[in-house]
């Protein structure tokens, strides 16, 4: 379980009442922004401190991993320059009956501020450049102490339930966004109904797309299963992000057995161009091992073609659940 800080001056009301976090994927000029990238490092059960108008006003618990979602319409003019598509995380927020102002407690907090990606300056002032950022455990402990009894019991309850069992509800949001794209394809009268059907079937890794992938890939790269009835054609560049051409491009697919397809589709694993398996640091190792993936020693599954590598790079950058803090 980790602790996060979110600046919500512009969207506090919508995000807390709506029960979510939302960020663009990139800055307006197209460059990446670490404070948006952090969205993909959040795990269900993580604790989120909500900061708005110089105060910590709410504490939240993540209920999902980040998934792609349109900008909430309720934002209105707030963040008008943000892109229409971004990352969303379901969060259960609890507004605090007694908000606290961190700037009044810097004598206790300052020593725990990280050198990089800190949510506050040493004088307690916030930073415009920050959206979401991780806070160290000792900083969080101090902050919880400052917030008082309500925060204490809240976070204790979260800690207890975190050790119980799963919270994974993120598939719901993904489906919601894909529905939107699906509807667009189905109502696109510039294509024949055959083309539309092929594109719709490609979403489930079946039909023409699967045939095309099968010309390049003969078996699941992890399990070695080669019977088509047990294989799904999984997109490297996800169906929802791809053009219609890319949705049907055989180089954009891998044949995988269902549980491996799930891990790849949801970003728990990815592959390098040379075939090396990448395991996300947020993945549950024992589950992976039970699904047939050896997480102890490095695995390779065979080199990929140049065209496949381009799609796999997209997967690594946009689907894989990364963790900056677990890299060295």
| Residues found near DNA in the complex (CB under 7 A) | 7-12, 15, 22-24, 27-29, 31-35, 52-54, 79, 81-82, 103, 116-118, 121, 125-131
Closest separation in Å from C-beta 202 to DNA: 32
Q: Which is nearer to DNA, 275 or 281 (CB)?
A: 281
Round to whole Å and give the CA distance between 97 and 147. Answer: 10
- Comparing CB distances to DNA, the nearer of 11 and 257 is 11
Q: How far is the CB of 175 from DNA (least distance, A)?
A: 22
CB nearer DNA, residue 72 or residue 292: 72
Quick one: DSSP state of residue 118? -
Measured from the CB atom, the residue of 7 and 252 that comes closer to DNA is 7
- CB of 153: closest distance to DNA in angstroms? 26
Q: Is 30 exposed, middle or buried (0-12, 13-18, 19+ CB in 10 A)?
A: exposed
Helices (H), the chain: 12-18, 34-37, 106-109, 137-147, 149-164, 171-186, 193-203, 208-216, 244-247, 258-265, 285-290, 306-318
CA dist list (Å): 161 to 46, 64, 108, 272: 11, 15, 29, 36
- 9/153 with CB nearer DNA: 9
Smallest gap, in angstroms, from Cβ of residue 103 to DNA?
Answer: 7
- Shortest gap between Cβ of 89 and DNA (angstroms)? 11
Give 46 or 217: the residue with its C-beta nearer to DNA.
46
Selection from 166, 143, 172, 240 nearest residue 19 by Cα: 172
| Minimum distance of DNA from residue 38's CB (angstroms) | 10
Q: Which of 252, 321, 250 is nearest to 283 (CA)?
A: 321
């Amino acid at each position: 379980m980790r602790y996060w800080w979110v600046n919500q001056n512009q969207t506090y009301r919508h995000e807390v009442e709506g029960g979510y976090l939302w960020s663009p994927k990139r800055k307006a000029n197209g460059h990446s922004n670490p404070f948006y990238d952090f969205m993909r490092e959040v795990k269900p059960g993580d604790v989120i401190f909500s900061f708005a108008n110089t105060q910590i006003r709410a504490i939240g618990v993540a209920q999902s991993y980040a998934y792609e979602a349109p900008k909430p319409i309720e934002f209105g003019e707030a963040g008008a320059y943000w892109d229409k598509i971004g990352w969303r995380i379901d969060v259960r927020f609890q507004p605090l009956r007694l908000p606290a102002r961190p700037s009044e407690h810097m004598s206790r907090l300052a020593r725990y501020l990280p050198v990089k990606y800190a949510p506050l300056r040493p004088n307690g002032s916030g930073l415009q450049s920050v959206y979401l950022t991780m806070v160290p455990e000792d900083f969080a402990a101090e902050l919880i102490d400052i917030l008082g009894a309500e925060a204490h019991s809240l976070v204790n309850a979260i800690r207890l339930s975190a050790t119980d069992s799963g919270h994974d509800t993120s598939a719901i949001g993904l489906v919601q966004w894909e529905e939107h794209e699906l509807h667009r394809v189905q109502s696109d009268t510039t294509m024949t109904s055959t083309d539309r059907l092929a594109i719709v079937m490609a979403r489930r890794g079946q039909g023409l797309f699967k045939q095309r992938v099968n010309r390049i890939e003969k078996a699941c790269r992890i399990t070695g299963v080669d019977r088509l009835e047990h294989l799904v054609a999984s997109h490297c560049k996800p169906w929802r992000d791809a053009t219609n051409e890319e949705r049907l491009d055989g180089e954009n697919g891998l044949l995988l057995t269902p549980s491996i397809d799930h891990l790849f589709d949801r970003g728990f694993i990815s592959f390098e161009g040379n075939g090396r398996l990448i395991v996300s640091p947020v993945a549950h190792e024992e589950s992976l091992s039970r699904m047939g993936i050896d997480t102890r020693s490095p695995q390779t599954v065979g080199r990929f073609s140049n065209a496949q590598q381009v799609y796999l790079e997209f997967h690594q950058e946009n689907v894989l659940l990364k963790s900056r803090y677990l890299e060295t």
